[in-house]
Each structure stands twice: as C-alpha cells, then as structure tokens.
Amino acid sequence: MPTPEWLKGRLEVCCNEEAFIHESSYVDEPCQIGHGSSIMHFSHIMANSVIGSHCQIGQHVTIHPGVFIGNNVRILNNTLLNSGVIIEDDVYCGPSTIVAPLKYIRGEAANISTIQPTLIRRNASIGANTTVAAGFTLGQFSFIEAGSVVDRNVPDFALVYGNPLQFAGWRCECGQLIKFTIANITSCSRCGKRYSRQSDTEIVQLRSGSTPHDSNIQSRSTIRKPQSDY
Ligand SMILES: [Zn+2]
C-alpha cells in the first residue's frame, strides 16, 4: 500500500532506539516508528505499518499490515486496527476500538485488493468500545461517544453516538458544545472560536474577523453522510 501524500517526508526511518517498545510486544519488519513513540505490553504491530512520532500505543493493541498513523496519536488498550486504516495527527482512539477491514467478509481468506480505506482525520476522538465499519471517514475534530457503531461518514466537529449512529450536535475544537439557534453563525461559549453552519450536516470554522463568504475559512468538511436519518 503506497504511503499517503500527507505522510510523505514526515516520518523517520524505523528508529527503535528512540522509540520505546516493550519487550513483550512484537514489531514485524519492515515498519516505521517515529521517535518518542511508545508501544506498551503485549502489542503486535504487523509489517508495512507506519507509526508517527510521539504516539502512545497501549497494551494488547493489534495493528494489521499497512496501517498509517500520524503524530501524537493515542491508541488505548485492546484496540484493533485492520489493514487500510489511515489515522491523521492528534487522534484519540479509546480502549477496545475496532476498525473493521471489509464491509462484507467471509471466513475464507480476504483478497487484500478489496480492503476499503478508513480515514480518521486529525483530532478526531473515538470513545471506548466503538466499532468503525470499513470505508468511512471520521471528520476532523469529530467526537464519537463510547460504544458507538460508525457505519457512515461523520462530518467535521460532529458529535455522534449509539447504534444506529445518532447525531447529537457539534463540538468546538476545545470540546465545548456548539449551539446554533436561528442564525447560522455562532461562537463557542468557552474559547470564542466562530463557526458557520453550511447545512444540517456541515459546519466550518471561521477565522477571527472573517465572514462565512471569506476565502480564509479554516476548514471545510467534504464529508456527506450517505443517509438522512441520523
Ligand atoms: Zn471552543
């Protein structure tokens, strides 16, 4: 699996001396592990995976071949990441997160060419015991409550929960709930960051002093949920 564009040039060649790998864990070769990262007890990182710098990989974590993980990512105990998972920087994966490899799977050996990439964008936060079906995107700063089953795309800043997945609102970068009334512009009550509501399924963050039509919008979700029944 080729290295994604956003990871190229950002990772150093496997540097076990600068990364902590507990003696009870296995890291198959070749892998790349950035400096300052730690892999705790009884974990298994399979070949052709890339882990960025300053990541924390907990106990009993299994990372299948061809997983790409950015920098400053926390992956807590018992998490399973299957092939095809791409995780950007500053993501939090709570304990026992499962990311599935395929939408449709049988007991017979899977054809690796059918693996569907799952993209978890920067600063997303995934609660404990969440299952993510293959082939979806979790938007930046999205917040998945514990125990959810993610079977569709999640917009940037969205707060979702449950099974079937329910939309519960929006969260600011700082974690505070964002409230929209009639107006489509609002500010976070904690940090003051401003947001514009583009539709029921999309908000964007505005730079200080900008209007929704300015070109300096900080981020824009390109994710659309495939169904209208959150
Ligand atoms: Zn805020």
Q: Ligand 1 centre and the CA of 121: distance in Å?
A: 19
Q: Ligand 1 centre and the CA of 92: distance in Å?
A: 18
In this predicted structure, the answer to whether residue 24 has a pLDDT above a threshold of 60 is yes
Residues 11 and 113 in one domain: yes
Structural domain span for residue 215: 180-221
Query: Is the CB of residue 27 less than 8 Å from the CB of residue 45?
Result: yes
Contacts of 106 (CB under 8 A, 6+ apart): none
Q: Ligand 1 centre and the CA of 192: distance in Å?
A: 6
Residues 143 and 197 in one domain: no
Q: Ligand 1 centre and the CA of 62: distance in Å?
A: 34
Residues 139 and 195 in one domain: no
Range scoring the smallest mean pLDDT among 97-101, 121-125, 192-196, 219-223: 219-223
Residues 138 and 199 in one domain: no
In this predicted structure, the answer to whether residue 230 has a pLDDT above a threshold of 60 is no
Domain presence at residue 226: no
* 224 DSSP assignment: -
Domain presence at residue 229: no
Q: Ligand 1 centre and the CA of 194: distance in Å?
A: 8
Query: Is the CB of residue 86 less than 8 Å from the CB of residue 116?
Result: no
pTM score of the predicted model: 0.84
Q: Ligand 1 centre and the CA of 188: distance in Å?
A: 5
Residues 115 and 216 in one domain: no
User: Domain containing 50 — which CATH number?
Assistant: 2.160.10.10
Domain presence at residue 184: yes
Residues 147 and 36 in one domain: yes
Domain presence at residue 228: no
Q: Ligand 1 centre and the CA of 69: distance in Å?
A: 26
Q: What is the mean pLDDT of the chain?
A: 84
Q: Ligand 1 centre and the CA of 25: distance in Å?
A: 38
4 or 109, which is more confident:
109
User: What does DSSP say about strands 166-171 and 177-178: parallel, antiparallel, or unpaired?
Assistant: antiparallel
Contacts of 73 (CB under 8 A, 6+ apart): 51, 52, 55, 56, 87, 89, 90, 91, 92, 93
Residues 126 and 207 in one domain: no
Give 216's pLDDT tier (boundaries 50, 70, 90).
very low
The model's pLDDT over 113-123, given as tens digits with 9 standing for 90+, comes to: 677 889 999 99
Burial of 211 from C-beta contacts in 10 A (0-12 / 13-18 / 19+): exposed
**Overall domain count for the chain:** 2
Residues 105 and 39 in one domain: yes
CA 78 to chain centre: 16
